[in-house]
Amino acid sequence: MRRNILITGASAGLGAEMARQFAAKGHNLALTARRTDRLGALRTELIERHPQLQVVVHTLDVTDHDQVFDVFRKTDAELPLDRIIVNAGLGKGAPLGTGRFDANRETALTNFVGALAQAEAAMELFRARNTGHLVFISSISALRGLPKTVTTYAATKAGLASLAEGLRIELLDKPITVSTIYPGYIRSEMNEHVSNTPLIVGTEAGVRAIVAAIEAEKAKAYVPRWPWSPLARVMRYAPLPLLKRMI
């Protein structure tokens, strides 16, 4: 079944590859990001490959909360939205107390407060029609507190997962579905600093696992399933000394 899907943070990385793979599955797309030049190039690419699809693009900075609501409403009027993927995020960060509050604040405002605005705007649309699929792209780092440069990032992704679960509890047995996706190491601009880990997978393969989990409307998914599904259990319960050695 063809769906109309909005993806935030779609100009690069996981968002852009999700757009390519959802388009290949025959879904119409609404793509948002701050970098309009990249969005325009991506739209051209998708229309050339899939001329039967509708692809609309809008500039969006998710830290501009009024703009989030305006863009979501405008997009829904153009292309009634069945699924909204909260994907926009930052990976900036520094150890707390080292003089880089600016970087940690920017990550917190983008990854959590920006996601909260997106969830509010999405749920406004979905509640009005009593249907829809809201997807949060969290991270395997959400499972535990992590040290140094990823402390704030991990905290924001944990907050995102908690936000999603609260909604999921509220909406049990109702026609609005909420999914939380926990990607492991997938090659992208954001995680170039972990490119040497043996656990990293390519962008296309990693996003294929993300898209499959979203299409199945899973409540929670650790992706790619191997090795992250079993590793997630270990990470969740490992004592701190063991966790520190693992990471």
pLDDT digits (tens, 9 = 90+) for 108-140: 999 999 999 999 999 999 999 999 999 999 999
What's the pLDDT tens digit per position in 35-60? 889 999 999 999 999 999 999 999 99
* Assigned token pair, 24: 């290949």
Domain that holds residue 17: 4-246
| Catalytic choice (153, 182, 185, 222) | 153
First to last CA, the chain: 41
What total number of domains does the chain contain?
1
What's the pLDDT tens digit per position in 217-247? 999 999 999 988 998 998 988 888 888 887 7
Strand order in the sheet with 132-137: 55-59, 28-33, 4-7, 83-86, 132-137, 176-183, 220-223
Per-residue pLDDT, 201: 87
Ranking 143-147, 194-198, 238-242 by mean pLDDT, the lowest is 194-198
Q: Is 153 a catalytic residue?
A: yes
Domain CATH number, residue 201: 3.40.50.720
Predicted structure pTM score? 0.94
d(CA 99, CA 88): 25
